[in-house]
Amino acid sequence: MNYTLTKLPYAYDALEPHFDAKTMEIHHSKHHAAYTDNLNKALNSEGCECKCECGNKTLLEIFHNINEYSVVIRNNGGGYYNHDLFWRILSPNGGGKPNGELLQAIEKSFNSFDSFKEQFSNAAATRFGSGWAWLIKQGDKLVVSSTPNQDNPLMAVAEIKGIPILGLDVWEHAYYLKYQNRRPEYIAAFWNIVNWEEVSRRFNEA
């Protein structure tokens, strides 16, 4: 199985002033591209500890049994998947809040949309070092979580498991050129470009 670098549905400068063009270009064309290349190399040549045919496995199958695979596959598989989701839940026409069933589910799980935003923002701000904040679906409820490095809630090693429908990258490479060490400002900017239509689609499919 061979993975290709996600093509962004917008230009690198389309998310200005919230996410700057230079960061977007480096983040996509360097970081995500490296995860993609390294994942393909690992799946097609390195193999895994259990010596299975990992090149024929889907990422979902790999994540569900991630302890059987090498650290290289774990890190780059997570990096590929997480960024693929990230680009798609951003939009220059985003922001505001969702509607319909997703909004109802958020309000049911968190009491209000503002309470959800506060909990998600706190998960992103307090993730020590590098990692991700997530909104995940667990059965009929929604839960906020975070993971270190390039892990995600689909992986067997995740403390809180579920299907991710919204994710925020809090690695420094995602924001340092514009926001330096001011991660909370980056998190606040994120809410202006969330593509709730895409998040709703993922919610309905989960």
Beta carbons of 201 and 166 less than 8 angstroms apart: no
Enter the CATH code of domain 21-88.
1.10.287.990
CA distance readout (Å), 149 to 2, 98, 128, 131, 198: 23, 28, 10, 4, 24
pLDDT digits (tens, 9 = 90+) for 146-182: 999 999 999 999 999 999 999 999 999 999 999 999 9
3-state secondary structure of 13: coil
Give per-residue pLDDT as tens, 75-92. Answer: 999 999 999 999 999 999
In angstroms, rounded to a whole number, what is the distance separating the alpha carbons of residues 77 and 39? Answer: 6
Domain 100-205: give its CATH code. Answer: 3.55.40.20
Q: Is the pTM here over 0.85, yes or no? A: yes
What DSSP designation does 66 have? G
Task: Output phi, psi for 184, to 5 deg.
Answer: -60, -35
Structural domain boundaries in the chain: 21-88, 100-205
